[in-house]
Amino acid sequence: MSTNHRRAVLIMYAGGLAALVLVGLYTYTYWLRPFPGLWNDIMTNVYDIILVCLTAIAATAVWRRYRKSEKLYSIWRFFTYGLYAWLLGDLIWAIYNLTVVEVPDVSFADLFYILGYCFIFTGLHRQYRLLFHPTSRRDALTTGGVAAGVLLLSVLFGLLVANLQHESVKPGDLIGVFYPVGDLGVAVVALVFAGKFGRGVFARPWLGVVLFTFADGLYDWLYQSGTYAFSVLQANSASLAVDTVYNVAYLSLTLLLLNHYLLLKFGPSVVKNFEKIRMPAAATPLEEKSG
């Protein structure tokens, strides 16, 4: 095992241990309420923001490994922009959560969540063009088809939710359903790319988004049923479960991004059987950048 390989393995183990500690601290604070009064709510929201910050920072580190002249630079730029938009959305959501009794169905935070999806899908679109070199017509049909599919599924599931509740469709129903459908759309597209993009090695961070499908789906289900607890004082096991899934999703994505960064920084030695991996031409430069 080379020195770089050993260093990369140690960093990944340290990252995994830190992730377990953060999840443990969140669970401890949420369930046992060690702080006085409102401070438990403040601390759990701070934990959430820290996790999203770590994910955005890890994405930034990957993005900055590429030169502006490389096509992958713009792909990772949009992916990183999307995570920072989600971070702003979470900050706004946390402010709502600490200042009102219940976060409204539709809030200013949703603007940044949706903007984040727009950035991420833009990054995937650029990756699609890099890998498949489609004609203008095929590009428009494929992109339009994916966008229409995500929106159609969101509307259909929104109608289903409203029908089950015997209510008319509200904007909050459509937005709440859009998030897990959007996550699933990102994950499916990333899976399609995985086979061509370094046999999946370079698509792993994108695949981490699949966990958000479960997290957003669980949250929307608990919110619609009135089960989700916005305050630690009303804590229940179902709310802890969905919050933990969110934490695990962000931490998993952070670790996958860290793994990708180490691959770019230390080169082929950190990936088993790397010499058998076929990469797109734009993905081959892995040499250490000066400075």
Residue 58 · residue 261 · CB < 8 Å: yes
pTM for this structure?
0.84
Distance from the Cα of residue 270 to its chain's centroid: 24
Second CATH level (architecture) for the domain 3-272: Up-down Bundle (1.20)
3-state secondary structure of 73: helix
Write down the domain spans for the chain: 3-272
What type of residue is 80? Answer: T
The Cα–Cα gap between 140 and 14 comes to 44
**Dist CA 227 CA 108 (whole Å):** 23
Tell me what pLDDT residue 227 has. 84
Determine whether 195 is exposed, middle or buried from the number of CB atoms within 10 Å of its CB (0-12, 13-18, 19+). exposed
Residues 215-255 pLDDT 10s = 888 888 888 777 888 888 788 888 898 999 999 999 999 99
Q: What integer pLDDT is reported at residue 1 of this predicted model? A: 58
The predicted-structure confidence for 2-34, as pLDDT tens digits, reads as follows 777 788 888 889 999 999 999 999 999 998 889
The whole-number pLDDT of residue 20 equals 92
Asked whether residue 291 carries a pLDDT value surpassing 50, the answer given is no
Q: Identify the weakest region by mean pLDDT among 20-24, 141-145, 193-197, 198-202.
A: 198-202
- Evaluate if residue 273 carries a pLDDT over 70: no
| Residue 287 pLDDT level (bands cut at 50, 70, 90) | very low
- Residue of 62, 118, 125, 61 lying closest to 85 (CA atoms): 118
